[in-house]
Structure 1
């Protein structure tokens, strides 16, 4: 009898402790808001210290990443905004187009709010951390080398030449990791645009360190050996050392060649001065390069892989895309070698394939903002200092905007222009990704040559997917590239 009583007491104690722990974050963060706490969206701040991170990581490391948000929907309804505690901060997740657009475009109310772990990896002087004024200046400065008709036309030949060479080489490699090779290709391209060129050995080292760094961007900030964040910090340190040697060498070259013209983004950054005459320090240049080099090849490589896979898995889509590319080549004037920007602008159906890939894959899971003041959004209050997670997956998988949202269907874009906030593959507002045009051109050039001349045979078509830091097959799309002509 006594044993039974002790068991009951023990169970009650465990339940009480659980009840208390589940409310610690609420007491810490909500009570200080006073009456405003009743204006918060529904949600759950999770456990002390770890908040909702375990449930987030569990969902994204299984085969059902949508289960993380659906758990809130099941408990609190389809409000589209939920309070959570993630990445070390009390936060609000926004999942509807209206709320996302408000957060991304209202610079008076919101500023970048990336976790300190992300800023430590990408750099405290990069776009993820600097003020609005500095951001406007640096964005204008750094967007010039990657935007505009003249600039994009200038890079097209380099991109196309490298795509052609890469595809020919891959066709003779046998078994290969398609994603790994694509990432090397896009890294080479972005290195050329921002740094002109570097040795093969330096590029290989940098690409490897970027890969390691990127794995830690969405990880928990646990700086202990064996954890992704710890490895990412070490990778950043090695990466910064390589970039510092490149910056130092460039400064020495410019001292000896003072009349040399600007040839890449590094020159532009070294020549830049703000309205007070201040120039950028080495560490500021390096942080900007880390951010651009990371973002500039990760998204292009992954989306190119997924677009290729979607095309091959949907023969009707592939046939229509291939017919469009054949027509472009057929209309080409005699003597023209290579694609033109005008031809890429005429790839109407391929552009829909790319947009549908961007929607289905949703390369960027979320972006982070922070409320500068108490902000009212869609009937709720986001308190000053709280983080906001703009949840792109919720927008891109909204069945009201995209019927049967998990289905890959480029035809859904026929005559369809999404309303503001309903399609956010490159973010939105003043911090929209400045390299979006360049990325789509890279993808278009690759797919043009691939659908006309090559095919991919996957070795593990049922390979499980990984969703962090970006969606990809676990085997990095192991397969073999062959020429289509070989099968005719």
Structure 2
């Protein structure tokens, strides 16, 4: 504050200063000098992590976006520190924690040294205005333990028939009638429609479209430069978010009215259960709180899961020997079932190799790059001080492709996940600790069900052998991964 006052005076009143006597000038400058002098020793006591804060305001956002997250992380780990380095994103000073030890520290210190944090620009696009500046704990009024409860394997077993039936319906309508399809775009259609069915009990395609169209605008602009002017991607995200919340609010209000009149339908979808859950004080969530939580679930199902499905299929297309093993495992299950039999939990449990393929795909091409936290207080790590208010970040790329933790890290090798699998805190596509993604098991089921249905129905061939992958909200094939389809019974 003192610095800004003096700089303002010096800049706007320079001509007046020229008229002052030397004593007057000295009287004005001495307090500033003493102020800076008294602060300097305190500043020097703090040993910050090595690194570069980049440009004012922009920080190192441009380097991160242009080179990609893997290159950004690996270069700075090599240049500054393999444990922790500093950078700046979105106007925030950030300490990037690296390696299994860094991951373990952040995952183990949730709500101790660090707490959840989300950039304000993202909050503005996703949340109701009254929640934009609220603590994340208030925004996420739905307790994390409740999400784990309703998304754990035992609770998800009943979703498998719905997943299977919808996968069949989707492939019949949007794949089987065509010779060429774009996997990425269709995977998004499927994962979002499935989320609407399981979370909201919405099946009507037109109703789904009323949510998916504005939601696509949100995701397209969520990670763009936050300039809220007409025509910008971020402005599109703001408008899309408004539309999504408006539509969700109608759904939640109507469903709440139904449930208060008749609670017998409470178990039909996640929304119904969410409406009736009470906090520690016995209070129900209000409609906006419920919508905020539904938005969070839709973000995950719309982008990260569809990305995971896409790259699993991409790897099967590119690696015939891997595909053949998956095909053999899946066909063993298919042979034991009639043509109209739905997949069961027991069938999913038999797909061990297929899930190892899924996990190896998540290691090499993780849909989520990492996550931010905020330092609750000054704390020390690896000989450096992380000041209160700084943001922290863990990244999958400090371990996933690191030869210290995975031999021949760029080779696709599902056998890494046999036996005890990778060392703790090295394979982290879903995060870890108390804030580990509660949708981990949901994603596993969705990937395996979709793999099963695609592999049993089609042979596929890539149409663009060296299609470029870009990093947007998640890794994205620039042409949508177009493939040539051949039906197996043709």
TM-score past 0.5 threshold: yes
Distance in 2 (alpha carbons) for counterparts of 1:394 and 1:112: 20
1:334–1:85 Cα change, 3 Å: closer
**Equivalent residue number for residue 185 of structure 2:** 180
| CA pair 461-225 structure 1, distance change in 2 beyond 3 A | farther
Q: What is the TM-score when the length of structure 2 is the normalising length?
A: 0.85
Deviations 1:90-114 (CA, angstroms, capped at 9, x unpaired): 1111221210221122121110122
Q: Of 66, 73, 76, which residue of structure 2 is paired with 1:69?
A: 73
Structure 1 residue aligned with 2:28: none
State how many pairs are aligned: 450
- Residues 141 and 285 of structure 2 are in contact (CA less than 8 Å); yes or no, is this contact kept in structure 1? no
Gaps of 5+ in 2: 1-35
Would you say 1:245 and 2:275 are equivalent positions? no
* Equivalent runs, 1:19-418 vs 2, <5 Å: 34-37=43-46, 39-60=47-68, 65-76=69-80, 78-107=81-110, 108-123=112-127, 138-149=143-154, 151-169=155-173, 170-257=175-262, 260-330=265-335, 332=336, 337-418=341-422
8 Å CA contact 1:43–1:72 kept in 2: the answer is yes
CA contact (8 A) 2:259 2:266 kept: no
Matching residue within 450, 454, 476 for 2:454: 450
Cα 1:412–1:126 shift into 2, 3 Å = farther
CA distance in 2, matches of 1:160, 1:333: 13
Change (3 A) 1:32 1:439: farther
For 1:262, what is the secondary structure of its paired residue?
helix
Q: Deviations over 1:215-240 (max 9, x none)?
A: 23322322223432222111101111
CA-based RMSD of the aligned residues comes to 2.6
* CA deviation vs aligned residue, 1:25-53 (integer Å, no higher than 9, x gap): xx9xx96961343x211101111111111
Name structure 1 gaps, 5 residues minimum. Answer: 1-26
Match in the other structure for 2:19: none
Query: More deviation in 260-269 or 192-201?
Result: 260-269
Q: Measure, in 1, the Cα distance between the counterparts of 2:152 and 2:134.
A: 23
| Distance in 2 between residues matched to 1:290 and 1:145, nearest whole Å | 17
In 2, the alpha carbon distance for the partners of 1:92 and 1:310 equals 33
Q: 1:135 to 1:421 in 2, by over 3 A?
A: farther
Aligned pair in 2 of structure 1 residues 285, 121: CA closer, same or farther (>3 Å)?
same
Q: Report if aligned partners of 2:124, 2:132 keep a CA contact under 8 Å in 1.
A: no
- What CA distance in whole angstroms lies between the structure 1 residues aligned with 2:140 and 2:272? 19
How far apart are the structure 1 equivalents of 2:242 and 2:141?
A: 28
Deviation at 1:333, TM superposition (A): 7.1
For 2:17, the equivalent position in structure 1 comes to none
Q: 1:484 to 1:89 in 2, by over 3 A?
A: same
State whether residues 460 and 485 of structure 2, in contact with CA within 8 Å, keep that contact through their aligned partners in structure 1. Answer: yes
TM-score by length of 1: 0.85
Mapped partners of 1:326, 1:128: distance in 2: 52
Tell me if structure 2 keeps the 8 A contact 1:456–1:481: yes
1:267 Cα deviation from its structure 2 partner: 1.6
CA distance in structure 1 between the aligned counterparts of 2:386 and 2:477, rounded to whole angstroms:
37
Cα distance, 1:333–1:231 mapped onto 2, change above 3 Å: closer
**Separation in 2 of the partners of 1:472 and 1:259?**
42
* Matches of 2:204 and 2:256, distance apart in 1: 18
SS of the residue aligned with 1:160? Answer: helix
Work out the CA distance in 2 between the residues paired with 1:362 and 1:32: 44
Greater Rg over alpha carbons, structure: 2
Contact 2:266/2:273 (<8 A) preserved: no
What displacement does 1:175 show?
3.0
Deviations 1:270-292 (A, max 9, x none): 21222223221111111101010
Query: Partners in 2 of 1:32 and 1:391 — Cα distance?
Result: 33
CA distance in 1, matches of 2:419, 2:210: 45
**Cα distance per residue 1:149-183 (max 9 Å; x no partner):** 2x322111111111122223312123332211111
In structure 2, C-alpha distance between the alignment counterparts of 1:173 and 1:31, rounded to whole Å: 69
